[in-house]
Amino acid sequence: MVRDPLFKPLALALALALCLTACGGSGVGGGVGRERLLADHAGQEPPVSTITPEATPAPEEPISTDGPAGPSGAADGSAIPAGYEAWGPGQVVEHLFFHPVIAYPQWAFHECPASQSQREGLDDWMVTVDEYNKILQSVYDRGYVLVDINDVWKETVDENGQARMERQTLAVPAGKKPLILSFDDTNYYDYMLEQGFTSKLVLGEDGEIWAQCTDPYTQETFLTQDLDAITILDKFVREHPDFSPWGAKGCLSLTGYQGILGYRTQTDRTLPDSEQAAWEASRQQERKAVAPIIQRLKETGWTFGSHTWGHIRLSTQSMESVRQDTERWLAEVGSLVGETKILFYPHGARPDGDHDQGEAGPMFRYLQEQGFRVFCSVGVESYSKIKSDISAVICDRLHPDGTTLRWQRKRYLQFYDARDIMDTAVRPDLGYRWDD
């Protein structure tokens, strides 16, 4: 049985003031301005959900989805099994990230009750289910295999007793190339329910992860593994186990302000005292409900990282607000998903004046002290740099989405050809340039 959280107009309005789906930021040339969506989402009206799922529908078919066990040896390259080869610290590990994928593109781009600029935001930052399927197929065909970001860099203690991060030698099947995938804002925000996305992850009767989805045209609610980035990747790996020789899937980048994975596990400090008890009771139910989902995701190769509680822009926040936000993330999200060393910067915005050279600044140091070691931004290549003065790595990720499909085809040719991927029939007519 699936429960809807209580609907709280005030809380939602405040939350939606923070509700910024764009995670991109630095270093993107050409295409559409990254600031636009941020302004748009700040003004978005809280959607009123009419969805009241009655019961968890039966899955279409029972499937076992335990990840492949992998060969004997170690993903981190400490022992290279036969048929594998070392991918050394000097070799780039590519990193792509996605937002939730658009399940109903015609609805999202043209028919949903969102403003024109909000729909263009979806075009900027998301890919459709069809595009995502083609991208997975293409990176697979081009010889990439999935690796766990937690295996790529590890903390070691140097001869002076200092903890430092170190790029690991990875073991990859001969002729293959390692690839990290991450997925930002896998929280299933309220506004997405109205814009043609799946609405939460659930366990099917087969014990596997399914996505709950409501058809925006018929309001029928059903379970699917074909309309959500997470379940699609699970399915792809089941069908192509050699895509994930060590069982890795992707890292889910979670905020906390509307709970996680479609469960409203957040506290709400805006409610009057008289409503706090009811909210807390609902929240605890949601925490209980999401626990087995987290467990199953971990068993099947998924890991978790922080995207800050409030999707805050670390380049402009005060130290005190970052401290409060981090404590809240650890209390409300970290307490559910467990320890993580991965932090995905919202908007790609780095703290301490956006620098990544020289000594770590005070905010970066604070975040590192909270356990984060791998700090992921967004950029034009899979850049990474191990900090020399503190145990931390900073890295950039590439972003398959409307902006890069339209305007950065050449940069992504090592993964896919945008000309074969972009659904020009359903996307709005906003142009593209195949020779860039």
Q: How many angstroms separate the CA atoms of 45 and 12, rounded?
A: 9
Q: Tell me how far, at minimum, the Cβ of 23 lies from Zn ion, in Å.
A: 3
What is the contact surface with Zn ion in residues (CB under 5 A)? 23, 184-185, 346
Nearest-CB residue to Zn ion? Answer: 23
Do the bridges between strand 170-173 and strand 163-167 make them parallel or antiparallel, or are there none, so unpaired?
unpaired
The residue (of 22 and 297) whose beta carbon lies closer to Zn ion is 22
Q: Which is nearer to Zn ion, 47 or 348 (CB)?
A: 348
In the complex, minimum distance from the CB of residue 430 to Zn ion, in angstroms, rounded to a whole number: 22
Tell the smallest beta-carbon distance from residue 56 to Zn ion (Å). 28
Nearest-angstrom CA–CA distance, 122 and 402: 8
What does the alpha-carbon distance between residue 407 and residue 433 come to, in Å, rounded to a whole number? 6
> Between the CA of residue 133 and those of 127, 231, 333, 402, 436, what are the distances in Å?
10, 11, 29, 15, 23
Supply the Cα-derived Rg of the chain in whole angstroms.
21
Closer residue to Zn ion in complex, CB, 75/201: 201
Q: At what angle do helices 116-125 and 35-42 cross, to 10 degrees?
A: 130
- Judged by beta carbon, residue 75 or residue 333, the one nearer Zn ion is 333
Looking at the Cβ atoms of 23 and 209, the one nearer to Zn ion is 23
Reduced to 3 states (helix: H, G, I; strand: E, B; else coil), residue 222 is: strand
Q: How far is the CB of 250 from Zn ion (least distance, A)?
A: 15
User: Least Å distance between CB 344 and Zn ion?
Assistant: 7
**β-pairing verdict for 393-397 and 374-378:** parallel
Q: How far is CA 136 from CA 81, 118, 322, in A?
A: 26, 26, 35
User: Of how many residues is the chain composed?
Assistant: 436
Shortest Å, Cβ 155 to Zn ion: 26
In the bound state with Zn ion, the residue whose beta carbon lies nearer, of 243 and 344, is 344
